[in-house]
Structure 1
Amino acid sequence: MDVSALTAIDVHTHAETDGCGHYSLPENLRAGADHYFGVDGGGPPDLDQLAAYYRERRMAAVVFTVDAESALGHTRIANEAVVEGASRNADVLIPFASIDPAKGRAGVREARRLVEELGVRGFKFHPSVQAFYPNDRAAYPLYEVLEELGVPALFHSGQTGIGSGLRGGGGIRLKYSNPLHLDDVAVDFPDLTIVIAHPSFPWQDEALAVASHKPKVYIDLSGWSPKYFPPQLVRYANSLLKHKVLFGSDFPLISPDRWLADFDKLEIKDEVRPLILKDNAVAALGLTVSVVGAAT
């Protein structure tokens, strides 16, 4: 991957299908999320299609699925499938993995193998879908491995479109995704890079507080059009957190084209824009500005 040639790095995209008819979410939750985000229903792109989309725009993308097998009873998309797709498209795709914290020691072993043998560059957690508090000590052995191996952990925060509008919210509980829970993780694992995903409605101030206070905590801006960003988020992105805010779209639920068009209209300082669009991600992901391979 020639990082210097990229116009932007999207740190938040989803592998929603394995390309063989299996999806990352049960049908009711997938349909509900599509309705919430206004997705056209044509079906999500496979990893090769996703890569072609970003390649055409001279952008790179972090891509992951969500393993929530214990809470949802739904077979995950294999992390190996994400890695294989990213390896085929190493010029634009950066593979993250996802492991259900409920998998305990087996999950810890898998995490180590995925990084050491397959070149995974980070991990995605979705506390509301996986039904766990991020500061639950049962998840700590997993974080220990990530910190040791030097790969970041990206956590969903705030409200979620998954389950929104469904009876009982599809069983998804919002309480798990308060970003203040990540303050404990940042204290107990001070060398672990943590990315708080999304404007954290209704806990935006909590996310800003944690990211301002803890040196290794970042915020990605995915899941919302920039025109809906809370004013305090824009203010901090322009000042105290200008080196800790990351471009993320939530593709295919929100397209980078839509996100960037609205970002162009946002009152962000000219010198801050390249930080958000690429430079901060280079630092958070441990990339180099020259050339990096899929497993470096």
Structure 2
Amino acid sequence: MSDPYPTRPDREDKRTFLQKIAEFIHPGPDSTDELIETLAEAEHNQLIGADSRKMLEGVIRMADMSAGDVMVPTTRMELVNIDDPYDTTMHGVIDTAHSRFPVFEGERENIIGILMAKDLLKLQRAPELNIRALLRPAVFVPESKGLNDLLRDFQSNHNHLAIVIDEFGRVAGLVTIEDVLEEIVGEIEDEFDIAEDEGDIFGLADRSYRVSGDTTIERVELAFGVKLDSTDSDEDFDTIGGLIAHEMGHVPRRGEHHVRSGLDFVVMHTKGGAVKWFKVSPVPDESA
């Protein structure tokens, strides 16, 4: 009678005697920190490159991170109100320049779907449609969801954005596939991130200008023919972003206005607590 529980043959150990001795003397890492130190040694010994080491470290650290660690908090979320007129929605999408927007109805907590910016173009050819018909289902995940699992879900479900829910069922923020991947490969540049030598002030169709927050104050003064030096502070600022943030007295938020020297600075895009882009236009004399 055959054995009902046949044993699997042991896998052949192909290590040489010297390899076994070396591993006995120098055992492998026993913790994440030791593994990261091993990667640093591998880079030092030129076994792997610096970029490879950083990516491997990101993969290792990501295993201990959750959606709540990388999410954009609800206070910084750019939402679309389903009841807003089409023109209001379109202008908000253009100014923010995101590709996806959570859509709410009534209260901001009531997320009813996700709007793709490109889908708004369909309304140009089919005005009888409404934004509600363009919405895609929203994906909700808990703050505690691991980044490894979240990335796997993004890949399998072809979703690039998820709404993060706290332990009480309230909206805590949102997380995108870019937020997850940046933990592995570092910051991913988007359409707002351009090389310094490609310019930092651009004219827009409505006769306003897009100005990088890193633009020097001297360059802004020269371009607009104004004087922007701060006269109420002993501090010196090199960039327009630093000057505007100081005068506003807090970290600028997207959509905020600040009038200075006859110019209206509107915060278009922020990243890491700093202004990446302003929309700048002259204000009427009576408002200046």
Q: Same fold (TM over 0.5)?
A: no
TM-score class, shorter = under 0.3
Higher share in helix: 1
Q: Provide TM-score, normalisation by structure 2.
A: 0.26
Higher share in strand: 2
Q: Provide TM-score, normalisation by structure 1.
A: 0.25
